[in-house]
């Protein structure tokens, strides 16, 4: 079974703090993703990575950065947390398929509250 | 912005009922996927559809990839209480998945 783990289930941070969210997958997947989930908006892609040290912006990258130093680990960084970044953050990973990236496997999520 | 229209937004089910939900888009997708999310957990993949017209079952779940490649539906037969949760459709295009806003399934009390 694919296992994707996230470092925290719940996190409370203050406005302006630098926040690190960590994600680890144990299935040697090339691709990793960070999404945020908000009610009524579904999942929106923040950043993704095809390989170590590779990253690409998703649909809502503003205010975020990422780091992928090892294949199994993908970190999301909030440089200066703001209240509008209060959300559920989901990490996912996938293999390269013949059709590209499609079957993504998700971690349990980190619910971040910025006060 | 949101590119998939998922409906209904929410629905109440009574145990034993059949449930239907669907997803439509103005754009073509190469693959459709359906996920379920339980409270406090990440989404779990239920069904993946790779060919237009494909009909696939997974236990009580049946999903179809529309012939136009712009829509998909998910049916749940004989629903049970543990079917409650949020169901997401997702379309694959290029190197990304695009998600619908979700259908919330609740139990009628």
DSSP string, A19-46: EEEEEEESS--SEEEEEEEETTTEEEEE
What's the pLDDT at B69?
92
Length in residues, chain A: 115
Does residue A48 contact residue A32 with C-beta atoms inside 8 Å?
yes
- On chain A, the residues whose CB falls within 8 A of the CB of B41 are 108-109
| Residue A89 phi, psi (nearest 5) | -110, 130
Identify the residue among B44, B97, B99 best suited for mutation to test binding to A, counting A beta carbons within 10 A and taking the highest: B97
pLDDT of B89 > 90? The answer is yes
- Tell me the nearest-neighbour CA distance from B2 into chain A, angstroms: 7
What's the pLDDT tens digit per position in A43-78?
999 999 988 989 999 999 999 999 999 999 999 999
* Window from A62-76, B10-24, B89-103 with minimum mean pLDDT: B89-103
Q: Residue A115 has what DSSP assignment?
A: -
B97 CB within 8 Å of a chain A CB: yes
Tell me how far apart the alpha carbons of residues A23 and B78 are, in angstroms, rounded to a whole number. Answer: 37
Question: Is it the case that residue B1 has pLDDT exceeding 60?
Answer: no
Spatial distance between the Cα atoms of B34 and B4, rounded to a whole number of angstroms: 13
Identify the sign of the CA torsion A86, A92, A96, A102. Answer: negative
User: In 3-state terms, what secondary structure has residue B19?
Assistant: strand
The token duo for A92 is 């996912």
Residue A111 parent element (H or E)? strand A110-114
Across-strand partners of B62?
B57, B75
User: Binning pLDDT at 50, 70 and 90, where does residue B107 land?
Assistant: confident
Instruction: Kindly state the helix (H) or strand (E) to which residue B73 belongs, with its residue range.
Output: strand B71-76
pLDDT (average), residues A23-37: 93
Q: Closest residue of B to A32, CA-based?
A: B96
Among chain A residues, the shortest Cα distance to B7 is held by A40
Residue B88 forms contact with A (CB below 8 Å)? yes
Nearest to A5 by CA among A66, A72, A76: A72
CA–CA separation, B40 vs B85, rounded Å?
Answer: 10
Note which residues in 25-84 of chain B have CB less than 8 A from chain A.
Answer: 30-31, 33, 35, 40-45, 48, 50
State how far Cα A85 lies from the chain centre. 13
């Amino acid at each position: 079974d694919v296992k994707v783990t996230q470092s925290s289930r719940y996190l409370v941070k203050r406005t302006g703090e630098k926040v690190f969210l960590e994600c680890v997958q144990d299935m040697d997947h090339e691709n990793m993703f960070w999404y945020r989930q908000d009610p009524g908006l579904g999942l929106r892609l923040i950043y993704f990575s095809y390989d170590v040290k590779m990253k690409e912006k998703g649909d809502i990258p503003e205010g975020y950065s990422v780091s992928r130093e090892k294949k199994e680990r993908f970190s999301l960084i909030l440089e200066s947390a703001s209240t509008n970044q209060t959300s559920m953050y989901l990490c996912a990973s996938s293999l390269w398929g013949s059709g590209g990236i499609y079957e993504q496997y998700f971690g349990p999520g980190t619910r971040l509250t910025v006060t | 912005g949101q590119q998939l229209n998922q409906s209904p937004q929410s629905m109440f089910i009574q145990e034993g009922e059949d449930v239907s939900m669907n997803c439509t888009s103005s754009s073509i997708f190469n693959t459709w996927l359906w996920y379920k999310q339980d409270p406090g957990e990440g989404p779990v993949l239920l069904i993946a559809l790779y060919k237009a017209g494909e009909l696939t079952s997974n236990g009580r779940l049946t999903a179809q990839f529309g012939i136009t490649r712009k829509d998909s539906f998910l049916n749940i037969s004989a629903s049970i209480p543990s079917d409650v949760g949020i169901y997401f459709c997702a379309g694959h295009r290029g190197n990304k998945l695009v998600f619908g806003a979700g259908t919330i399934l609740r139990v009628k009390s």
